[in-house]
Amino acid sequence: MKLILHIWRQANAAAPGKMMRYEAAGLSEDMSMLEALDVLNEELIARGEEPVAFEHDCREGICGSCGMMINGVAHGPSRATTTCQLTLRHFRDGQELYLEPWRARAFPVLKDLVVDRAAFDRIVAAGGYVSVPTGSAPDGNAIPVPKDDAERAMDAAACIGCGACVAACPNASAALFTGAKITHLALLPQGQPERHERALRMVAQWNLEGFGSCTNIGECEAVCPKGIGVEVIAAMNRDFLAASWAERDRVHAGA
Amino acid sequence: MSTSAVAVAGRGGLRFYQTTVGKKAVMAVSGVLLFGFVLVHMAGNLQIYEGPEKLNNYAKLLRSVPALLWGARITLLVMVILHIWSSVQLALLKQSARPVGYVKKETLQASYATRTMYWSGPIVLCFIIYHLLQLTFGAGGTPFQEGDVYSNVVQGFQVIPVSAFYILSMILLGLHLNHGLWSLFQSLGFYHPRYTKRIKGLAAALSALIVAGNISIPISVLAGWVR
């Protein structure tokens, strides 16, 4: 199997980039998209050219490292699938594919298809945590969690932070990612003490990173490899509005 | 034990309106109030089918208490300003949030209405300005007689370009509402796997009702049913 790959090549964060055309031959339809790039890179290295840089780690759809626009769709045409899990059988022999990095001011391109997603880490650091007592470990299951809440929290926690939601969003908004992190903790009893503070801080950090606003169109949920829906965005908005209202308590308490 | 208040601002120094979620909440609340006006305005105007006397008396009634009239006008003006101001700021943010675009980009599930919000809004604004010039200030280039709303409307809509612009604007308003009417629930934090589907259906039905009710007037005038 053969693919015509148009790939964004950019030497480093400061250099200008451009689309380059490559022919990747000797592929198998059982290969993943990343393996196709591996094959291409071996050929490039053999020819003495610079291989295509792309991010990858687990290659089993759980780390969130890989991710690129494939013919204008984040992670390619297969729904709820990461780029590493996307097999070539979704494409025709000889098909032309356009591979581009995520595009957002908050995700600067480092090289070729690799972007810096540290902005996501800073959003999580702003409030995506729970306080735990130090000392002896608490008893397991000491805090009862309703089954449905646990399931929904787990659905939100499935977010791997790949950035596809930002990439697909016409506003380059981080609403789905931030919403997933906030919802994941807001549904659990352990997440309650910081719940309001978390919503305020994480939304603020998302904004300070330079991501855009949510316009409720749903392109993010269409590309999310973990199938996270826009419900988490509403849940985040709800927590943020409630927290903004509750902030009055601090105004009165303040010196 | 310390009794001092938490010192670090929760929003990292951002005030409510400085956040995108805050702006969208303002857009949602101003939007729903503007929709309320559009709905009542249409219901009132449909009295054109009951003859000149009925419509002109209704127009007189609306102006009978100046405090209420001006209260409503000022409220609407403030809502229009908030709605536009927040959307302009978010549109500018959209520009800056993705300085380099894609060579290839597909749209998977965003509806036509959502992709035209930034167009439908400004065109509807142009329409509102002309609509006020024409039927409130009498400066729209069509025959105008203070207090005779019925004749002003009928004679105005007999001008085909005026009717055509009106119909186009209403269709765009319908598209705008089709997205906005359900999106405001999402912006204000309400989503439910069952009810959001119904809200979307209701939003589509209400926007269709607004379009149908309003464009029936120029169509009736052009067809000679209302004269």
The answer to whether the Cβ–Cβ distance between A231 and B191 falls below 8 Å is yes
Write out chain B residues lying below 8 Å of A203, CB-based.
11, 19-21
CB A38 within 8 A of CB A50: no
> Most distant CA pair in chain B: distance in Å?
82
Q: Residue B2 above 50 pLDDT?
A: no
pLDDT of residue A249: 62
Where in chain A are the domains?
Answer: 3-110, 117-133+143-253
Mutate to test the interface with B, among A4, A122, A131, A207 (most CBs of B within 10 A): A207
User: What digits encode the pLDDT tens for the residues A106-133?
Assistant: 999 999 999 999 999 999 999 999 988 8
Residues 213-242 of A with CB under 8 A from B: 213-219, 221-223, 230-231, 233-242
Q: How far does B87 lie from chain A, in Å, by closest CA?
A: 10
Q: What residues of A are in contact with residue B83 (Cβ under 8 Å)?
A: none
B104 in Cβ contact with A72 (< 8 Å)? yes
What is the distance between the alpha carbons of residues B120 and B11, in angstroms, rounded to a whole number? Answer: 33
| B77 min Cα distance to partner chain A (Å) | 23
Average predicted confidence (pLDDT) for chain B: 93
Q: Which residues of A touch B22 (CB under 8 A)?
A: 240, 244
The more confident residue out of B39 and A254 is B39
Tell me, what's the pLDDT at B29? 98
Does residue B13 have a pLDDT over 90?
Answer: no
Using a CB-CB cut-off of 8 Å, the residues of chain B touching A212 are 20, 90, 93-94, 97-98
Cβ neighbours of A196 in B, within 8 Å: 10
Predicted pLDDT of residue A250: 61
Smallest CA–CA separation between A220 and chain B, in Å?
A: 9
Dihedrals phi, psi of A98, to nearest 5 degrees: -105, 115
User: Does residue B1 surpass a pLDDT of 80?
Assistant: no
Which site among A215, A232, A236, A240 would you substitute to test the B interface, given the most B Cβ atoms closer than 10 Å to its Cβ? A215
For the entire predicted model, the pTM comes to 0.93
Domains and CATH numbers, chain B: 16-92+117-223 (1.20.1300.10)
Q: What backbone torsions phi and psi does residue A172 show, to the nearest 5 degrees?
A: 50, 45
DSSP state of B122: H
Give the orientation angle of helix B117-135 with respect to helix B160-187, to 10 degrees.
Answer: 130
Best of A107, A176, A217 to disrupt the B interface (most B CBs within 10 Å) is: A217
Closest Cα in chain B, distance from residue A250 (Å): 7
Distance (Å) from the alpha carbon of B192 to chain A's nearest alpha carbon = 7
Measured CA distances, A244 to A174, A179, B194 (Å): 20, 16, 27
Low-confidence ranges of chain A (pLDDT < 70): 248-255
Q: What are phi and psi of A20, to 5 degrees?
A: -125, 145
DSSP string, chain A: --EEEEEEE-SSSSS--EEEEEEE-S--TTSBHHHHHHHHHHHHHHTTPPPPP---S-SSSSS-----EETTEET-SSTT--GGG-BGGGS-TT-EEEEE---BTTB-EEETTEE--HHHHHHHHHH-------SSPPPTT-S---HHHHHHHHHHHT-----HHHHH-TT-B-HHHHHHHHHHHHTSGGGSTTHHHHHHHHHHHHHHTT-B---S--HHHHH-TT---THHHHHHHHHHHHHHHHTHHHHHH--
Helix or strand or coil: residue B173?
A: helix
Taking CB atoms and an 8 Å limit, are B108 and A98 in contact across chains? no
Mean pLDDT of B154-163: 96
Find which of A21, A68, A173, A216 to mutate to test the B interface (most B CBs within 10 Å of its CB): A216
Size of interface A-B (CB pairs under 8 A): 162
Residue B46 has pLDDT above 70, yes or no: yes
Note whether A197 contacts B: Cβ–Cβ < 8 A.
yes
Query: A231-243: per-residue pLDDT in tens?
Result: 999 999 999 999 9
Question: Which of B94, B107, B111 minimises the CB distance to A171?
Answer: B94
Q: Is the pLDDT of residue B147 over 50?
A: yes
Indicate if A117-133+143-253 has the same CATH topology as A3-110: no
Q: Is the pLDDT of residue B104 over 50?
A: yes
Structure tokens at A206: 């998302």
Cα–Cα distance, A7 to A97 (Å, whole number)? 8
Mean pLDDT in residue range B174-195: 96
Query: What does the pLDDT read at residue A251?
Result: 57
Confidence (pLDDT) at A137 = 86
For the A117-133+143-253 domain, the top CATH level (class) is mainly alpha
Instruction: Compute the distance between CA of residue A115 and CA of residue A108 in angstroms, rounded to an integer.
Output: 5
The answer, for B21 touching chain A at a CB cutoff of 8 Å, is yes
Which pairing describes strands A73-74 and A18-24: parallel, antiparallel, or unpaired? Answer: unpaired
On whether the CB atoms of residues B32 and B126 are closer than 8 A, the answer is no
Q: What band does B4 get if pLDDT is binned at 50, 70 and 90?
A: very low
Above 50 in pLDDT, residue B60?
Answer: yes
Mean pLDDT of the region B72-101: 97
Is the CB of A55 inside 8 Å of chain B's CB atoms? no
State mean pLDDT over B179-188. Answer: 97
- Give the nearest partner residue to A103 out of B11, B100, B115, using CB atoms: B100
Q: Quick one: fold of A3-110? A: Ubiquitin-like (UB roll) (3.10.20)
User: B188 CB near a chain A CB, below 8 Å?
Assistant: yes
- Give the residue-averaged pLDDT of B197-210: 97
Contact between A107 and A120 under an 8 Å Cβ cutoff? The reply is: no
Q: Which two tokens stand for residue B93?
A: 């943010």
